[in-house]
């Protein structure tokens, strides 16, 4: 007797009028109880990589032509002495501790307390795309035409009606189903250092609810088919500009407050840089008119805290500049406002560091991002003071040289190979991004060393800031992001 293929069996079930019964088997018998939630259960042995789940999800949810909420990755290698080839369907993992929800500055995510489904609230979203950085699985996808992020909601409307999600219902081999999982079990497994599949980020980051099952013997020789591919990331130009200008503004303000608090030029320069930075940050949003919502998540989002801190800095800096312009620079209240502005600005830079550190990317950890942002703040601040007071030019040279040498030291990680995140960054910087890196180092040397030695303070400041802009662009493009094997970028 000829064995039918998965597609032939799928067609036979429909022709026999048994589809409803078959689809109900893809759902749990009862809804989640206390301490439980829904989660995808994927039988990897059944998956053929046909991508019917991707197509069904796209069709049912009415996604745009270039939009996808599911992907099918590929694992290859050698297992038990035999060639290993395994496709891995991936969607949202509806995590127990969703990083997208924790990082969102506008509370555009909610986790259903009864089902555990993580839902994105499209109307609330401002399109900042921060959730695409905080999610270690690259699940939320930014939709440029709509100006918002969107993601899988486990077809919760279908679940409420007793229907299986589109991906599960369309799979001809029934490799995807929905099950009820115990949250405590998921947390215990995640704490033990597990990953969903080889090459996936550690589950301890967000405690994903998806369960991948296979009868194949575990092996350490399996990796993602694109493991050796090193790709650069998105440059986020408005964010690069915003980061540099906020750090310039804070550095210039603090330097002016210490060296020459009554100087009008210094006060206005720092204020202008701060206002330009805030304007640049709005350009990054898909819905800039709703930028005011960014403070909503202040209880849990470092992005919201950054917005509040820099908003306070700009407000206090404006009052301080007004006081200085009217000749009241020495007045106690003006000095007090200056101290508040400096403190809130420094706090804002600290928030900027933590915004990226919490994403889990190695190159964005505090030990790398902290010194980088602090150096920019100090160097740009010193450059601004030198330009507005025609003094303190020489002190720029030593920290500039030390900072550039520290930045270039990342290249030593190339020897570690692509298994290391910092090595991937080093390979990008020494290969595809070599020219921008050289430009950054040259601009830094000209602005922080050559120009000060020649007494060209204003020229030095402009060139120094330009070099920092390139560095921030590299900060985004050269980072190695965690992801599911073969997931879309």
Q: pLDDT tens across 356-406, in order? A: 999 999 999 999 999 999 999 999 999 998 888 766 567 888 899 999 999
Domain boundaries, the chain: 6-224, 237-477
User: Whole-angstrom Cα distance, residue 48 to residue 234?
Assistant: 32
The pLDDT, as a whole number, for residue 298 is 96
User: Whole-angstrom Cα distance, residue 338 to residue 15?
Assistant: 77
Question: Looking at the whole model, is its pTM more than 0.85?
Answer: yes
Considering only residues 212 and 482, tell me which one the structure prediction assigns the higher pLDDT: 212
- Percent of the chain at pLDDT above 70? 92
User: Whole-angstrom Cα distance, residue 125 to residue 10?
Assistant: 39
Considering only residues 199 and 468, tell me which one the structure prediction assigns the higher pLDDT: 468
The pLDDT, as a whole number, for residue 224 is 86
Mean pLDDT, all residues of the chain: 90
- With bands split at pLDDT 50, 70 and 90, how would you rate the model's confidence at 156? very high
How far is residue 134 from each of residues 265, 281, 317, measured CA to CA in Å? 39, 18, 31
Contact 360, 459 (CB under 8 A): no
The pLDDT, as a whole number, for residue 17 is 47
- With bands split at pLDDT 50, 70 and 90, how would you rate the model's confidence at 30? confident
User: What are the structure tokens assigned to 474, written together?
Assistant: 């590299």
The pLDDT, as a whole number, for residue 308 is 97
User: What are the structure tokens assigned to 362, written together?
Assistant: 């190695």
The pLDDT, as a whole number, for residue 489 is 52
Considering only residues 161 and 444, tell me which one the structure prediction assigns the higher pLDDT: 444
- Percent of the chain at pLDDT above 90? 71
Q: Which residue has the tokens 């395994």?
A: 86
User: Whole-angstrom Cα distance, residue 372 to residue 370?
Assistant: 5
User: Whole-angstrom Cα distance, residue 2 to residue 489?
Assistant: 41
Q: Which residue has the tokens 């890196």?
A: 437
Burial of 371 (0-12, 13-18, 19+ CB in 10 A): middle
* Architecture of the domain delimited by 6-224: 2-Layer Sandwich (3.30)
User: Whole-angstrom Cα distance, residue 266 to residue 157?
Assistant: 58
The pLDDT, as a whole number, for residue 186 is 97
323's CB contacts (< 8 A; 6+ apart) are 329, 331, 333, 334, 337
User: Whole-angstrom Cα distance, residue 264 to residue 250?
Assistant: 16
Q: Which residue has the tokens 């499209």?
A: 122
Q: How far apart are the first and last CA of the chain?
A: 44
Whether 2 shows a pLDDT value over 60: the answer reads no
User: Whole-angstrom Cα distance, residue 456 to residue 34?
Assistant: 68
Q: Which residue, 167, 104, 125, 85, is CA-closest to 299? A: 104
Q: Which residue, 112, 150, 144, 130, is CA-closest to 239? A: 130
The pLDDT, as a whole number, for residue 246 is 97
Region for residue 162 given its phi and psi (left: phi exceeds 0; alpha: psi -120 to 50; beta: otherwise)? left
- With bands split at pLDDT 50, 70 and 90, how would you rate the model's confidence at 330? confident
Q: Report DSSP state, residue 202.
A: B
| Domain 237-477 fold | Formate dehydrogenase/DMSO reductase fold (1.20.1630)
Burial of 60 (0-12, 13-18, 19+ CB in 10 A): middle
Whether 6 shows a pLDDT value over 70: the answer reads no
The sign of the CA dihedral 299, 301, 304, 306 is: positive
The per-residue pLDDT for range 70-121, each reduced to its tens digit, is: 999 999 887 666 788 899 999 999 999 999 999 999 999 999 999 999 999 9
Of 278-282, 352-356, 414-418, which gets the smallest average pLDDT?
Answer: 414-418
Considering only residues 218 and 401, tell me which one the structure prediction assigns the higher pLDDT: 401
- With bands split at pLDDT 50, 70 and 90, how would you rate the model's confidence at 447? very high
Whether 329 shows a pLDDT value over 90: the answer reads no
pLDDT mean over 53-76: 93
The pLDDT, as a whole number, for residue 1 is 42
Whether 260 shows a pLDDT value over 50: the answer reads yes
The pLDDT, as a whole number, for residue 152 is 95
Whether 435 shows a pLDDT value over 90: the answer reads yes
390's CB contacts (< 8 A; 6+ apart) are 457
The torsion angles phi and psi of 218, rounded to 5 degrees, stand at -60, 145
**170-204 as b/e: b if 16+ CB within 10 A:** bbbbbbbbbbbbebeebeeebeeeebbbbbbbebe
Q: Which residue has the tokens 């007793």?
A: 162
């Amino acid at each position: 007797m000829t064995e039918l293929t998965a597609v032939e069996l799928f067609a036979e079930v429909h022709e026999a009028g048994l589809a409803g019964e078959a689809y109900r088997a893809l759902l749990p018998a009862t809804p989640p109880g206390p301490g439980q939630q829904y989660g995808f259960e994927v039988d990897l042995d059944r998956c053929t990589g046909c991508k019917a789940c991707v197509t069904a999800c796209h069709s049912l949810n009415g996604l745009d032509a270039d939009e996808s909420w599911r992907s099918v990755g590929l694992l290859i290698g050698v297992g038990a002495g035999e060639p290993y080839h395994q496709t891995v369907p991936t969607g949202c993992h509806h995590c127990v501790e969703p990083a997208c929800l924790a990082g969102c500055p506008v509370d555009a995510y909610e986790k259903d307390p009864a089902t555990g489904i993580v839902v994105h609230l499209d109307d609330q979203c401002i399109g900042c795309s921060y959730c695409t950085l905080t999610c270690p699985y690259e699940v939320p996808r930014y939709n440029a035409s709509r100006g918002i992020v969107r993601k899988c909601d486990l077809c919760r409307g279908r679940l409420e009606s007793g229907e299986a999600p589109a991906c599960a219902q369309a799979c001809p081999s029934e490799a995807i189903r929905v099950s009820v999982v115990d949250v405590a079990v998921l947390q215990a497994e995640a704490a033990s250092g597990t990953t969903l599949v080889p090459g996936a980020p550690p589950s301890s980051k967000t405690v994903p609810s998806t369960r991948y099952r296979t009868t194949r013997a575990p092996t350490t020789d399996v990796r993602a088919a694109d493991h050796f591919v090193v790709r650069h990331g998105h440059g986020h130009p408005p964010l690069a500009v915003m980061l540099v200008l906020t750090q310039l503004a804070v550095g210039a303000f603090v330097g002016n407050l210490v060296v020459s608090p009554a100087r009008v030029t210094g006060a206005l320069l720092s204020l202008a840089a701060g206002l330009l930075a805030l304007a640049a940050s709005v350009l990054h949003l898909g819905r800039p008119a709703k930028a005011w919502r960014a403070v909503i998540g202040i209880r849990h989002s470092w992005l919201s805290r950054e917005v509040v801190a820099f908003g306070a800095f700009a407000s206090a800096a404006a009052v301080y500049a007004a006081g200085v312009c009217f000749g009241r620079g020495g007045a106690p209240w003006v000095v007090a406002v200056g101290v508040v502005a400096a403190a809130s600005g420094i706090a804002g830079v600290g928030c900027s560091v933590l915004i990226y550190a919490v994403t889990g990317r190695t190159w964005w950890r505090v030990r790398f991002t902290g010194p980088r942002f602090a150096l920019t703040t100090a160097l740009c601040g010193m450059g601004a003071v030198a330009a507005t007071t025609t003094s303190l030019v020489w002190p720029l040279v030593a920290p500039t040289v030390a900072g550039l040498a520290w930045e270039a030291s990342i290249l030593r990680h190339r020897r570690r190979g692509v298994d290391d995140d910092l090595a991937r960054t080093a390979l990008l910087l020494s290969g595809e991004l070599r020219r921008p890196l050289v430009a950054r180092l040259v601009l830094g040397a000209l602005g922080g060393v050559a120009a000060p030695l020649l007494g060209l303070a204003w020229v030095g400041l402009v060139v120094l800031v330009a070099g920092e802009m390139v560095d921030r662009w590299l900060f985004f493009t050269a980072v190695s992001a965690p992801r599911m094997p073969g997931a879309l970028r």
